[in-house]
Structure 1
């Protein structure tokens, strides 16, 4: 009930109500995101969530649905981050292993440092190894 009243007040332009909503939900949202990502990425993603909340709050038609709406925004932000990172890691794997390009060429194509290419390859190999170990495949 408190959140619903704060949402209505914030929708009417009351900055103090918006600040109170953020204060009430900042830690629970960060905790949720942190459970999905490491601490550094959780901080980055959480920073992206609140502007989206502020931009979309006026379009929230059911103020009583604020909490599920808020967590939906957080979930989408986490998913977008993971999808983006997965695509970058996959891109390096395709270029290096399937297209048979050098680490240097992969770095030029992806416009990242050579060290980034190496770390993405290392992480991808580790994830693949863990996945195969989980399926009972041993090297």
Structure 2
């Protein structure tokens, strides 16, 4: 069954269709959020996202655009969380430190990449995550981020350059 059909059925009040959408998209959404935040915050933000989806699904006019709509909500939720934390941290100490290490992540082979990704500016990290890790095309990245496709391409270029520079600083050679 397609996402479009599940959305229409969920909009008509079928709980099983909503449950199927949740089951289908829960891991991709959590993975996206986790790549932008640490594990504890990812759980909280993911719950906020699904609450927004349940509330907003009846108003979704274009059911075949469910995935970009969903990731737009996820992006907005992550951005709101980061914005709130940055402002609170600035009020407390004058400097924000948004990256929090997850000790379990250090055991994973990809720990270096996760560390380097967390060092990147949010806009560049977001584009890398959407394009490479979520496998979304440039057009959907543009839709989610509400920027032109050309801006997505330039951010991808800058993000790749920054990622390469950070990896080289840590001793990795291309």
TM-score, normalised by the number of residues in structure 2: 0.54
Provide, for residues 77-101 of structure 1, a one-character-per-residue CA deviation record: whole Å limited to 9, x for no partner.
Answer: 000000000000111135xxxxxxx
For residues 122 and 23 of structure 1, the distance between their equivalents in structure 2, rounded to whole angstroms, comes to 35
Please tell me whether residue 60 in structure 1 is matched to residue 38 in structure 2.
no
The residue matched to 2:43 in structure 1 has which SS?
A: helix
Q: Where do 4+ consecutive residues of structure 1 move more than 6 Å?
A: none
Matches within 5 A, 1:1-139: 2-94=2-94, 123=97
For residues 7 and 96 of structure 2, the distance between their equivalents in structure 1, rounded to whole angstroms, comes to 46
Higher helix share: 1
Unaligned runs of 5+ in 2: 99-118, 120-165, 167-174
For residues 122 and 62 of structure 1, the distance between their equivalents in structure 2, rounded to whole angstroms, comes to 38
Q: 1:84 to 1:5 in 2, by over 3 A?
A: same
Of the two, which has the highest radius of gyration? 1
For residues 48 and 24 of structure 2, the distance between their equivalents in structure 1, rounded to whole angstroms, comes to 17
Q: 1:123 to 1:35 in 2, by over 3 A?
A: closer
For residues 30 and 54 of structure 1, the distance between their equivalents in structure 2, rounded to whole angstroms, comes to 16
For residues 9 and 69 of structure 1, the distance between their equivalents in structure 2, rounded to whole angstroms, comes to 17
For residues 19 and 122 of structure 1, the distance between their equivalents in structure 2, rounded to whole angstroms, comes to 38
1:105 matched to which residue of 2? none
Provide, for residues 53-111 of structure 1, a one-character-per-residue CA deviation record: whole Å limited to 9, x for no partner.
Answer: 000000000000100000000000000000000000111135xxxxxxxxxxxxxxxxx
For residues 69 and 19 of structure 2, the distance between their equivalents in structure 1, rounded to whole angstroms, comes to 17
Unaligned runs of 5+ in 1: 95-120, 125-129, 135-139
The residue matched to 1:43 in structure 2 has which SS?
A: helix
Q: CA RMSD in A?
A: 2.2
For residues 26 and 96 of structure 2, the distance between their equivalents in structure 1, rounded to whole angstroms, comes to 34
